[in-house]
Amino acid sequence: MARFEAALARASAGAGVIPGEHAQVIASTCARATFDVTSIAREARNAGTLTIPFVAALRKQIPGDAARYLHIGATSQDVSDSALALCLKTATERSVGLASELGDALAALAERHANTAMLGRTLLQPAAPITFGWKAAMWLAPLARSLPHYRHAAAEAAALQLGGATGTLSALGGAGDAIATAMARDLGLKKVVTWHSARDAFARLGAESAILAGIAAKMAGDIALAMQPEVGELAEPSAPGRGGSSAMPHKRNPAACVLALEAGRRVPGLASTLLNQLQGEHERGIGQWQSQFSTLRELVCASASALAAMAEVVRGLQVNEQAMRDNLERTNGLVFSESLSMRLTRADADRLVEQAVREKRHLREVVESSGKFPRQEVAALFDLRNGCGAAAAMIEQVRAEWTSARRSAP
């Protein structure tokens, strides 16, 4: 908020609206001003906005006649919205960094395990074989699609708010546009027309933040399920005291996955709050924008928490390839039933599968004894390398998409 007031003073002096020497005093005071935040917060409840007590406290610290030129031409919402935009610019840059770390780790994981066979699961039940590298690529794909959208939304939200009393910059006369241009350049914010009652940029950023958190939560859920001892395929990186239980010393809980999952469950409501705040009344609404700094703070922090947690998990993820093979074998070849049904009529395939289940035999043995295929064809039918379809090509495509997303400009 102090940075906004300093930039306003400098830009106003440059446009000839206030004396240059007074602008210098205001700017230097803003750089070293101190505030009783608790007192300002209490007064803000009476004032209805944080800006009024803030400006009053700042004005008391400005010596001489310069104090009367503080805040000239601006309104309370200009200060709070621009301050929020400045905070969001820093926060979203951090989130982009965390998302990039996560994506890089996933791309490496997908490449490393491109040929690691495992059981695919649909509706929580055994399905057809996949590779773990393909699964990691499917975690990466939505991140590759979403990161450019998030960057764009963050850039749009980092906008200067300067409109004055009703948004037309009437107090600044013909100098308003020049002052806004200079302030935007000074603060490193985007220059747009007044957005007092147009909250679409914040709603869009909120939605994109929620999507990133949801992407992180999805992979956290998958990893947590694979960490169950009866599955045993994955484990979070270990550390002293991590994932312990206060009551059960034997437990190894998915502690980092919990962080991503709790964020994923929390952010949809926060994003919907921002969507509901698009309906501000007239030129300045009541009860919408006033709370957005709280909503966005929680939303951006939750999203960053989820991304950071999963970046840490994926970088140090422990992959038990033997458990993956064992879980595949435990199905007695039934995971190849789709391949079988592509070579036979559905009725014949169903009969062979039912026989394998009834006799508790490996499906391959039943198929071999059926005489429907030469032995070499049976081997190919149950070869994991043939059972994963276009998984390898998809991995390479997603890795390329991630490289492109990583380089994309806002």
170 is catalytic: no
Q: Picking from 45-59, 248-262, 317-331, which range would have the lowest pLDDT averaged per residue? A: 248-262
Label residue 176 exposed, middle or buried (CB < 10 Å: 0-12, 13-18, 19+).
buried
Q: Which amino acid is at 123?
A: L
Is the predicted pLDDT of residue 249 greater than 70, yes or no?
Answer: no
Q: Picking from 41-50, 368-377, 397-406, which range would have the lowest pLDDT averaged per residue? A: 368-377
Is the predicted pLDDT of residue 241 greater than 70, yes or no?
Answer: no
Q: Are 71 and 115 in contact (CB under 8 A)?
A: no
28 is catalytic: no
Q: How far, in Å, CA of 325 to CA of 336, rounded?
A: 14
pLDDT at 248: 46
Residues in contact with 344: Cβ distance below 8 Å, sequence separation at least 6, in sequence order: 352, 372
Q: Which residue has the higher pLDDT, 345 or 329?
A: 329
What domains are there in the chain, each with its CATH number?
1-72+167-192 (1.10.275.10), 77-159+195-325 (1.20.200.10), 328-396 (1.10.40)
Q: pLDDT tens across 193-219, in order?
A: 999 999 999 999 999 999 999 999 999
What mean pLDDT is reported for the chain? 94
Q: Are 254 and 227 in contact (CB under 8 A)?
A: yes
Please pick, among 170, 245, 404, 408, the residue that the annotation labels catalytic: 245
Please pick, among 284, 303, 305, 399, the residue that the annotation labels catalytic: 284
pLDDT at 409: 59
Per-residue buried b or exposed e for 78-91, using 16+ beta carbons within 10 Å of the residue's own CB:
bbbbbbbbbebbeb
pLDDT, average across residues 376-380: 85
Neighbours of 252 (CB within 10 A): 14
Is the predicted pLDDT of residue 320 greater than 60, yes or no?
Answer: yes
